[in-house]
Amino acid sequence: MRTQTETDIPFMQRCLDLARQAEGKTYPNPMVGCVIVHKGLIIGEGYHRKAGGPHAEVWAINSVSNPELLKEATLYVNLEPCAHYGQTPPCSLLIEQKQIPRVVIGCVDTFSKVAGRGIQQLKAAGTEVTTGILEQESRELNRRFFTFHETKRPYIILKWANTRDGFLDIDREVVKNNRPTWITNEHARRMVHLWRSREQAILVGSTTALKDNPSLTVRDWSGPHPLRLVLDRGNKLPDHLALFDGESPTLLFCSEKKADNKQAEKIVIPANEDPVSAILEELYERQIQSLIVEGGARLLNAFIDKGLWDEARVFVGNQWFQKGIKAPELRQVPLQSEKFGNSELFVYRNI
């Protein structure tokens, strides 16, 4: 196995950059980019665009104008080539057939149908295989994919906005109009819609659904709507809420199925079952790899108390409520921060 070299790194970084172009579009497949290099020059490249379509290696190989050069080339890919027949033939077999002598891989694919088999097949064919080039960066790019297959649950992102003095909301029990309380600005809200377009599902509790009447769709960005989830164990939500308008599919987690006009698929959680665990099990069965939890406080804290979260994105707006609904508190130190006008975004990881 050849060690990581300065020559390998920039080509693997190009694979990651290519793969990222399909963020949010490849589920349930990972994001993969591929670069083919001959004598230090890129002669072909490509990335996986959507599930069911050609894999990155196929795009890259087909883009090479002179196929004879493949026999003297190095193929770079950020994830181990597949070795099984799915919707497309195995990429390891294609690489073998094209007689590409060297393959450089970012990280091993821990999905059970791959899990080192692609590397084994390439080595058995006499291909020189180098692994672990920008390995951490490669796993980070596909953290949703790896979390789903290694922990049997979706990658969980907690999201909320709080004031400078640590409140999610005013006490709207004493407010007549009962309207949503905006803490952040338009730029931050647009970013939230971008996030929604990249994740597969989004969850709120019944209090947020009732008080804010959110649509949980992508309105200020282009992209697919996430699967909408609402937890309503008390069966108290009325039919007219935006979550039940049929614009996008909705799963309603409730204590019992009742006859109503809600356009939602109802999933019963018995009283003796933990709702967080039940929701995550349902999403795993549906092959949902990522989930945004948008609150409110009780739901967010339920995930935090169980340690069932991977990332938290917290906006802090330039407002002071002095009293109201307290925001969740995290023990972790934020890994990064970014300004959004008069608001600031803090990103945490549960590590």
Catalytic residue annotation: 57
**In the block, which residue shows the tokens 């399909």?**
22
Sorted by sequence, the CB contacts under 8 Å of residue 86 that are 6+ apart come out as 113
In angstroms, the Cα distances linking 138 to 58, 65, 83, 265, 318 are 19, 28, 19, 36, 36
**Which positions ≥6 away from 341 have C-beta within 8 Å?**
185, 187, 188
Longest dimension (CA), the chain: 75
**Do residues 32 and 16 touch, judged by C-beta distance below 8 A?**
no
Residues 6+ apart with CB under 8 A from 73: 36, 37, 38, 43, 64, 100, 101, 102
DSSP 3-state of 318: coil
Structure-block tokens of residue 254: 């409730």
